[in-house]
Structure 1
Amino acid sequence: MTKLVIARRDHRRARRPPYPRCCAALAPKRTSPVDRNVAEAACVAAPADRGCVEIRGARQNNLKGIDLDLPLGQMTVITGPSGSGKSSLAFETIYAEGQRRYVETFSPYMRQFLDRMDKPRVDAIRGIPPAIAIEQANPVKSSRSTVGTMTEINDYVKLLMPRIARAFCPSCEREIRPETPQGIADAVVRELSGRSVLITFWIAVPAKTDAREFFQFLQQQGYLRVWLHGEVIRCDTNNPPARLGARVQVIQDRITISEENRSRLVEALETALRFGRDRINVVPVSGENVQRPTFNAQGATQPQAEIPFSKGWHCAHCDLDIRPPTPGLFSFNSPLGACPECRGFGRTIAIDLNRAIPDRSLSIAQGAVRVFRGEEMGESQKDLLRACAREEIDVHAPFEDLPKSDQDFVINGEKKNGKYEEDEDSGR
Structure 2
Amino acid sequence: MPQDFIHVKGAREHNLKNVEVTIPRDKLVVITGVSGSGKSSLAFDTIYAEGQRRYVESLSAYARQFLGRMDKPDVDYIEGLSPAISIDQKGVSHNPRSTVGTVTEIYDYLRLLFARVGKPHCPKCGRPVERQTIQQIVDAILSLAEDSRITLLAPKVRRKKGEHKDILEAARRAGFVRIRVNGEILMLEETETLNLDKQKWHYIELVVDRIVIRPDIELSRVSESVEAALREGEGVLQVLRQPREEGAKEEELVYSEQFACVRCGTSLPEIEPRTFSFNSPHGACPQCTGLGFKLEVDPNLVIPNRNLSLLEGAVVAWNRTGASSGWYMSMMESVARAHDFSPQVPVKDLDEEHLKVILYGVKGKKVTIRHRTHNGRTYSWETRFEGVIPNLERRYRETESDHTRQDIERYMTARPCQACKGQRLKPEALGVKVCDLSIMEVTAMNIAQGVEWVRTIDPDAPGEHSDEVLSPRDKSIANQILKEIDGRLRFLDGIGLDYVTMSRTARTLSGGEAQRVRLATQLAPALRASCTFVTSPRWVCIPTTITDSLTPSPACGTWAIR
The structure whose Rg is larger is: 1
TM-score (norm 2): 0.35
More helix as a share of residues: 2
